[in-house]
Amino acid sequence: MAKIMIQGTGSSVGKSLIVAALCRIFKQDGYSVCPYKSQNMSLNSYITMDGKEMGRAQVLQAYAAGLEPQVFMNPILLKPTADTKCQVIVNGKVYNNQTAEEYHNLKVIFKDMLKEQFLELEKEFDIVVMEGAGSPAEINLRDRDIVNMGMAELVDAPVIIVGDIDKGGVFAALAGTMLLLTDEERERVKGTIINKFRGDIKLLKPGVDMLENIIKRPSLGVVPYFNLVIEDEDGAMIEINKQVTAEIDAAVIMLPHISNFTDADCLRCEEDVSVRFIERKEEFGKPDLLIIPGSKNTIEDLRALKDSGLEKEILNYSKEGIILGICGGYQMLGKEIRDPLNVESSINSIVGIGLLDTITTLENEKVMTRVEGSINLPDFQGKIYGYEIHMGRTILNNDDRSLATLNSENGKEISKCDGIFNKEETIFGTYIHGILDSTEFRQYLLNKIRTKKSMSLRKSPVYEGFREEELNKLADIVRNSLDMKKIYEILGLKQHDEFYNY
């Protein structure tokens, strides 16, 4: 089996999408390929078919490789709950909650597990494309590293380092990264990639040549800046998505501890919809659809909404707008959130926004399920699917207005209710992440808005098919930008050009 590891000069330089692109390229070329990230820190997570939790970046990479996402692609997931604390998830299940120092001291015990799991991957796939985290030059963490050079050494993987030129200082970042590596670590680096380039490549070439002379490693290519509808890890795109650029304005509240903001990604495949993120009340404007997303600390984020004035904006907007609360957002829309066990906070209870007739009690047990079912609205019935990740139980005071009936949970037949809607059918709450991926429900909500705005009704695209097209576009961009012959040489494999067909 061949393997290659993509590391970066820092966070958000594009490692995840380069890995996804390589997975799709190798798949197109006829190889069986698997993505792998030993440790991911993210509040964007996903539930697999067997009810386990993993990072969303490896989910996209799995789709790029033509695989169903499984937790061995991301065996350790860290979900921050505060600046120095996080929930540690190992092999898809909650391990415990730890401070940064506690987890740093714990990492060494995972090494044997990671190596053993990786050896099993070597038996199953032709190629494993590995992803690092942050930067390998975080020298303060080197002694217990299990995600960058420490992981590469553990499984003897060659490394390519990616730098983001859009941030500025890419040559210094690449050269500085190499400078801070040990001699043994530098030996693993087989080349560099410059990512997110805008401009004339001829003007960049002298700098690339000088960099090669300085670090004694070849440049494997320059990837241009691109705009594709592909989810980006940990909100790197959120900062620029502030403007309304289409007829329908879908706005997402940017909670301090926002999680699974990718729930809104599928809206970007709709030609007449733009998605933007609201951090301050001054940015609220007049959205056509307001989404209150998930949160890793619902009580603290609800307090933040109250303190910032955004709660008042939401209440005013509710008189004429359409609101969808998902998971933590659903809990906030109710009358009260209780935390008697102090699961999230030292606060035992907090008054909710009060737009839905519900009360939520936070509990220690974490719900992690894949679900399917149907919407129960008076003027719409349609299939939905998605997944639940939450630590609360919500009671409806009006259970005749439950939003959905679920009939499948982790593949098992069930019958239970989810969510709620108000009598005007303008405010909806649900625990189901990915509910908008369901074509029929997304089309219903958007056509409701189009009718209100006297726009023509539209048929919504199937998001999964749209995502496949975007992944193929991503692969084409990266294939045409990189020296794939050299990358195959690093892998020790032959490039199967005759297989390149999709």
Question: pLDDT tens track of the chain, all 502 residues?
Answer: 899 999 999 999 999 999 999 999 999 999 999 999 999 999 889 999 999 999 999 999 999 999 999 999 999 999 988 778 899 999 999 998 899 888 988 888 999 999 999 999 999 999 999 999 999 999 998 999 999 999 999 999 999 999 999 999 999 999 999 999 999 999 999 999 999 999 999 999 999 999 999 999 999 999 999 989 888 655 444 455 678 999 999 999 999 999 998 999 999 999 999 999 999 999 999 999 999 999 999 999 999 999 999 999 999 999 999 999 999 999 999 999 999 998 888 889 999 999 999 999 999 889 999 999 999 899 999 999 999 999 999 999 866 789 999 999 999 999 999 999 999 999 999 999 999 999 999 999 999 999 999 999 999 999 999 999 999 999 999 999 999 999 999 999 987 655 555 4
Domains in the chain with CATH codes: 2-229+467-499 (3.40.50.300), 248-454 (3.40.50.880)
In the chain, how many H helices and how many E strands? 14, 26
Q: What's this model's pTM, rounded to 2 decimal places?
A: 0.92
Extract the tokens encoding 70.
Answer: 């499984």
Measure the CA–CA gap between 111 and 316, rounded to whole angstroms: 53
**What CA–CA distances, in Å, run from 140 to 5, 143, 352, 413?**
21, 8, 42, 50
The token pair that represents 408 in the structure block: 């499948």
Are 297 and 313 in contact by the 8 Å Cβ rule? The answer is no
Query: Between β-strands 189-197 and 45-47, what pairing exists: parallel, antiparallel or unpaired?
Result: unpaired
Q: Look at residue 234 in the predicted model and tell me its pLDDT.
A: 52
The reply to whether 390 belongs to the active site is: no
| Dihedral over Cα of 119, 121, 127, 129: its sign | negative
Sheet holding 127-131: strands in order across?
Answer: 33-36, 127-131, 2-8, 159-164, 189-197, 219-224
| Positive or negative: CA dihedral 226, 233, 493, 70 | negative
Where helices occur in 7-67 by DSSP H, the ranges are: 15-28, 56-65
Three-class DSSP category at 174: helix
Integer Cα distance of 386 and 368 in angstroms: 11
Burial grade of 400 (CB within 10 A; 0-12, 13-18, 19 or more) = exposed
CA separation for the pair 191, 284 (Å, rounded): 45
| Active-site residue, 104 included | no
Question: Catalytic: which of 23, 269, 390, 433?
Answer: 433
* 410 vs 56: CA distance, rounded Å: 18
Residue 349 identity (one-letter amino acid): S
The catalytic position among 327, 390, 417, 496 is 327
pLDDT of residue 108: 86
Q: Could you give the CA distance from residue 432 to residue 105 in angstroms, rounded to a whole number?
A: 35
Nearest to 89 by CA among 101, 100, 74, 77: 77
Q: State which H helix or E strand residue 273 sits in.
A: strand 273-278
* Strands in 332-442 per DSSP E: 336-338, 349-351, 358-375, 383-396, 404-409, 412-418, 420-421, 427-430
3-state secondary structure 19-35: HHHHHHHHHHCCCCEEE
